[in-house]
Amino acid sequence: MSDKYSKRRLTGSTFTTIVSLSLVLFMLGLLGIIILNTRKLADNVKENIGFQVILNENAKEVDVAKLQKTIDASDYAKSTEFVTKDEAAERLQEDLGEDFIDFLGFNPLLSSINVHLKAEYANADSLQWIEKEMLDTRLVKEVIYQKSLVSMINENVQKISLIILGFSSLLMIIALALINNTIRLSIYSKRFIIKTMQLVGATQGFIRRPFVFAGIRHGVYGALIAIVMLVGVLYFTQKQLPELKELQDQNMLLTLFGIVVVLGIVISWISTSLAVRKYLRLKSDDLYF
């Protein structure tokens, strides 16, 4: 009867440890996904920032094509689009809802090259030297971009990043404390076994080894359960919001899942080792307190 009770208690302790580990690792993984998607979303917003290179009236098509190829080959350009003066007039007419050319009697617009920037160059400093570089070209009349919008986007992205970083750090500390306390409680229930093994002459390494291996197994099991839960959340979220699929990077997700497994192993290993070490150093009388 006593053996059955002990086995039931041991099984319950193991189950509780694995479930606790999986829930905490799930929270960390979910936070990782949020961070990755926030970064991807921020990059997408930044890559929608662009500028217009307004060309001179007498610019030749051959020279314009050469300039566009030069911009395409640059480090800062994600994509470019050449817009003729007639196309620019058509777009403006659609926006205004009236034919301004008939009113004016001529088309005042000029041909242009619309440039979308890579995320790392979508800031005021980069745009300043790109503008200077463009204006040094004889084909370019002016460079147009919204300076206030660029500054506002970058400031907001920076604020959001700092908030998420602070929240992530706090959650990481809480998660580590929860996992550590769960494992310590699990080892606490086996403190008499540890002391008995020590009294019959077992070395500290011999006593610690099975507990550490068990802790690593629990960490792996907890991480795998957490990954299954994360995949379920991603599947459900993408079903509800299909546009989120575009933000998902499969390689980054696989890397994140690998980190979750490594965290489960390392945290369980360290916490188990420290907990067992504590009870190995305790005197027999102190085990009852």
Of 115, 144, 173, which residue constitutes the final position of a domain? 144
Q: Which of 110, 105, 104 is nearest to 58 (CA)?
A: 110
Q: What is the pLDDT along the chain (289 residues), one digit of tens a residue?
A: 444 544 555 565 677 778 878 888 888 888 888 887 777 777 777 877 788 888 888 888 888 889 899 999 998 888 898 888 888 778 777 766 776 666 666 667 788 889 988 888 888 888 888 888 888 888 888 888 887 777 787 788 778 778 877 877 787 787 777 777 777 777 776 777 777 777 777 777 777 788 888 888 888 998 999 999 999 988 888 777 776 666 667 788 888 899 889 988 888 888 888 877 776 666 655 555 5
Contact yes or no for 5/208 (Cβ under 8 A)? no
Whole-structure pTM value:
0.63
68 and 124: one domain?
yes
Cα distance between residue 54 and residue 135, in whole Å:
10
Encode burial over 230-246: b for 16+ CB neighbours within 10 A, e otherwise: beeebeeeeeeeeeeee
Q: pLDDT tens across 240-285, in order? A: 777 666 666 778 888 889 988 998 888 888 888 887 777 666 665 5
Cα distance between residue 61 and residue 71, in whole Å:
15
164 and 30: one domain?
yes
Q: Which of 15, 36, 40, 9 is nearest to 168 (CA)?
A: 36
267 and 184: one domain?
yes
| Domain of residue 13, residue span | 2-44+153-288
174 and 265: one domain?
yes
- Supply the DSSP symbol for 115: E
86 and 186: one domain?
no
33 and 163: one domain?
yes
120 and 212: one domain?
no
Q: Specify the pLDDT at position 227.
A: 92
Q: Specify the pLDDT at position 2.
A: 42
Contact yes or no for 184/268 (Cβ under 8 A)? no
Cα distance between residue 123 and residue 150, in whole Å:
6
161 and 181: one domain?
yes
161 and 240: one domain?
yes
Of 81, 111, 144, which residue constitutes the final position of a domain? 144
The proportion of the chain whose per-residue pLDDT surpasses 70, expressed as a percent, equals: 84
Cα distance between residue 12 and residue 7, in whole Å:
8
N-term to C-term CA, the chain = 27
Of 144, 173, 205, which residue constitutes the final position of a domain? 144
CATH number of the domain at 105, please.
Answer: 3.30.70.3040
Q: Which of 65, 47, 48, 49 is nearest to 111 (CA)?
A: 65
Domain count, the chain: 2
280 and 175: one domain?
yes
60 and 195: one domain?
no
Q: Are strands 112-117 and 140-144 parallel, antiparallel or unpaired?
A: unpaired
59 and 200: one domain?
no
The proportion of the chain whose per-residue pLDDT surpasses 90, expressed as a percent, equals: 4
